Amino acid sequence: MTMNTRQKKLKKKRRSRNGFLELLNALLTMVVLGVLVAGGIFFVATQRYYAKGPMSENRVFLVEQGLGLAAVANRLETANLIANRWIFQFGAMLQRKQSSIRAGEYQIAANASMAEIILEITEGRAITYSVTIPEGLTSWEAVQRINAAPNLTGEITVIPAEGSLLPNTYSFERGSDRQLVIDRMGEAFQVEVAQIWETRSPDLPLNSIEEMVILASIVEKETGIGAERAGVAGVFINRINIGMRLQSDPTIIYGITNGQGSLGRGLRRSEIDEKTPYNTYQIDGLPPTPIANPGVAAMRAVVNPDDTEALFFVADGTGGHVFANTYAEHQVNVARWRVIEREMAAEAAKAAELAQEEAEAEATRDALQQEQAPSVDSNG
């Protein structure tokens, strides 16, 4: 091999080695630049993720059932609660919260950052609403109230058994199913009634929880005054003990209406005389089912009634009742109540008459004002 040939080969190796080093250096430079750019982007994105949000006032944001991270991010950006949905998604995924988003309605604070918002909709408490079912409503009335409650979904079409729901105030999140509220009422009733039954007096003339609930529903409909419930329960317990009929007007009314609203009038003599399963003037013992959904206080009153000798009670004109041990005493109280009833009726009639006179006077004033008002010339 000649010297020239050897020199040419050496030069070729050097050029090849230099080219490889240049390529390697270029690649390393690109990697470094890429890392720097990615780091810069990551830094900026992180800064924006934790920075104050664009909304200057508190806002309510609804996360509908089934929405994923991308849909939520898009809606947040549309609502101007976040500045960039991509950064929001990126931050949520880095925090591994993309699968933790919970449906509900959330209160988003003014200028909340993306980090604060994702924390709110994954770990915060959704806004709750409530529906109140007062003591003494029938199951039909309770269903009407729940079906009419806003912010719930679905419709209850099957009326639960009478006396199977616990009256109370029930909280729920927007979009909850109405049936779930009914289910909670039923479950709460089962728990409460079992506990109350365990506290009953040993000589109680009731053989089952069902009988206790039936009597409690009658007590609930007879008085709305808490202090009277144990007294009213005592009267009915006394009547059961001596085999006397309960003679409760609300039971007759329930037999007429089937619990679907109020009767809207007084009972007729024919209705009191008619023998039906719910007419406790005509049947012995308890009616076949509760006549409403009793509250906790009424059920507690029934299992531990007042120790009393009273067998009768009648309204006293103040919203409460007056009790009597004998029928003779009761007749005196009834006569007193009839006088009060007449006086109340007279006062109501007088008030209606005054209201009519005021309405007629107002109509007369309006007519006179219209006659005396200057006419307007449409031609100017």
pLDDT score of 380:
42
pLDDT at res. 30: 61
Q: Which residues of the chain form beta strands (DSSP E)?
A: 59-63, 104-108, 128-133, 152-153, 168-173, 176-177, 312-315, 321-324
The set of residues, in sequence order, having a beta carbon less than 8 Å from that of 235 and lying 6+ positions away, is: 308, 310, 311, 312, 313, 323
Sign of CA dihedral 368, 369, 374, 377: negative
- Residue 139: CB atoms within 10 A of its CB come to 24
Which letter does DSSP use for residue 159 in this model?
A: P
Q: What's the pLDDT score for residue 146?
A: 96
For residue 53, the model assigns a pLDDT of 82
Beta-strand relationship, 59-63 and 104-108? antiparallel
Fill in the DSSP letter of residue 63: E
pLDDT of the residue at 94: 85
* Amino acid 378: pLDDT: 47
Mean pLDDT by 10 residues, the chain (380 residues): 57 56 60 53 72 86 87 90 88 85 88 88 88 96 95 93 97 91 97 96 95 97 92 96 95 94 89 94 96 97 95 88 92 89 80 78 67 57
Pairing of strands 312-315, 152-153: unpaired
Q: Which domains does the chain have, with CATH numbers?
A: 59-123 (3.30.1490.480), 128-192 (no CATH), 203-337 (no CATH)
What is the DSSP annotation of 85-100? HHHHHHHHHHTT-TT-
Q: Minimal CA–CA distance to 126: which of 196, 182, 70, 173?
A: 173
